[in-house]
Copies of this chain bind each other. A is one copy, B any other.
């Protein structure tokens, strides 16, 4: 039995850059025994930061200056084809990787973008993150994820933290801090709002038309013959919540149906708040026959409450949600909802942000993506 393999060893002195040895070994093991399994175990030493290869080493071996190596690495055109090839050859041989800490420091950039969002556990944001991430990675940027747990204080703190880190830009998927502060932030550092937006200031934004979407949802319920429609809103300090209430009101007004205050109840986007509010609705004299919830999570809470009270959905009561999270098709009956192009929103927001970072002119500062009513089984 014979086993052969090759390995490469690199030796480098701490100070003397003229001493880089690249040694390739061929190792052959012969034995008379049969070997069924071979565990080859190299005890690789901790990568010693003090003897890592530097640009200087590459430069010496390639007989050029570090300036040239740097130019090759940054795809600067001012390098002759021949020189570039030579340098690249050495870089490959040594498996040299430039020190990002140094270059970022030098260039005053971190090649990192922060995404600040209210709740990472919410699958709605998971999709947004994926969009952001794919677009960022494609352009060599990393993502710093900041989950504010719905707290304005956390939101402010993160914007500070993140500035100290020299992140190159921020995507705000939550915007609960005062409008003025968000505006100021956007003057200091590239900022794009995703999902949310800020009134009266021109901050780059990607979102859907929440008013129209909510109006359509409500109109659909009206079309089904419902007259007593309750709305479970998101927290009213966030603007998309208010927009959805606005759309709800518009729909009713257009049909000359009076808006009843009792039918407008404020939740907080959580399952529990949907459940609690639904219970309240069900306990009242004038029960609504249909519910429009401002998030799928709340709709699911409401659905649960109905079931617990022995009501059949949609026969006794119709429910419509908002967001179209994957869960919608897992519950019974499947949830009718308004779908937002989540992944696309993430992509677009990141594209916009990278454009701002690159100081390109934006053709459009406000992008409104299309939503869609998805009729499933909780409405009739």
Contacts and interface: CB of A to CB of B under 8 A. Distances in A.
Contact of A101 (B145, B147, B166): B166
Contacts of A188: 44, 46-47
B142 A142 contact: no
Interface in A115-130: 120-121, 123, 126-127, 129-130
B332 A330 contact: no
B187 A43 contact: yes
B121 A121 contact: no
Q: In the assembly, how many copies of this chain are there?
A: 2
A130 B126 contact: no
B164 A100 contact: yes
A184 to B, nearest CB: 5
A225 B77 CA distance: 75
Given A121-B130, A331-B331, A332-B332, 5 more contacts: A101-B108, A102-B105, A121-B123, A142-B144, A143-B144
Interface of A: 41-47, 49, 97, 99-102, 104-105, 108, 110, 120-121, 123, 126-127, 129-130, 133, 142-145, 147, 161, 163-166, 180, 184, 187-189, 271, 300, 304, 307, 326-327, 330-332
12 contacts: A44-B184, A46-B188, A47-B188, A97-B164, A101-B110, A102-B105, A121-B326, A144-B144, A304-B330, A307-B332, A331-B331, A331-B332
